[in-house]
Each structure stands twice: as C-alpha cells, then as structure tokens.
Amino acid sequence: MQPIDFDEAIDRIVKQDPRYDREAYRFVRDALDHTQARLQRAATKGGRGGRKSGREAAAHHVSGRELLDGIREFALKEFGPMVLTLFEEWGIHSTADFGEIVFNMVDARLLNKTDEDSRNDFKNVFDFQATFRTPFLPEGSRRLQGGTNIELPL
C-alpha cells in the first residue's frame, strides 16, 4: 500500500469541497500534532503510564473536543489577534467547520476515526468571538457573562 501524499490528498479534497482553503487543512494537521504533544505531556506529568515513544503518542486517539481545545490553544499562540481574520480567509467560521475539515481528511484517509466519532462532536463547542477576540481586548473589556476572564495561553 502506497503512503498517502498529504499535498496531493489536500488538492483532491479542495477540488471536491472548495469551502476551505488548503491552509486550513495544514493548520488542522499542525494543531493535531500540537494537541497530541500536549496530551502526552499531560499524561507524563500526571503519571499515567510513563513516557511513550513518538509513534505511540501519535497513535493516541484525539477526540473532537480534545482537538478543538488544542486548536484554540494553538491558534491563539500561533496567530494572536489575527486568528479570526485568518480563519475567515480560510473559510472557517465556527467549530463545526473544523469538524467538516477533519472528516474530509478522514474520508481522504489522512486521519483515522473511531465508531464513536462524529461531526456533531464539533458543533457549537465554543463561540469564536469570545474565544478568539476577547483575549486581545483591553483588560477591562475581557469580562464575559458570569464574570469569567479569558486568558491567553502561555
């Protein structure tokens, strides 16, 4: 079985589903790598079974919710206040769009899924404006309903 070339697969996906820019797929791949590394660090710190090899860490299944948490953290870290502008340029307007991208990648055999995984795992998980705009507002404007402060990831 031939390995799947990422760029060729993305070309085919974008031809079939032009809603999202090629960069959106690259970002999701990078955000998944970031999420897997973060989960591995958390597992190691928490003492859950010692250190895994890179291949074992990469084999860990990441849920939709875990991936969205990683996407949020990675996007804020990588793009700062430009994140909403970039996402809009790439065709991403909500967490559901990330589900569509992920499942396009699953269909192209770039990612795997379990029987429990669904596009619904990505729907309405967080509000884009509150998540990606609020951290960059002046401190007095950061208060959300319920008095929760949004902080930038370190």
Query: How is the chain split into domains, by residue range?
Result: 6-147
pLDDT at residue number 146: 43
DSSP-assigned letter for residue 19: T
Q: What pLDDT is recorded for position 154?
A: 53
Q: At what angle do helices 6-16 and 95-107 cross, to 10 degrees?
A: 120
In whole angstroms, what is the distance from residue 56 CA to residue 84 CA?
Answer: 33
Instruction: Give the global pTM.
Output: 0.81
Residue segments in the chain with a per-residue pLDDT below the cut of 70: 1-2, 46-59, 141-154
Tell me the C-alpha distance between 56 and 83, whole Å: 31
Total residues belonging to the chain: 154
Amino acid at 17: D
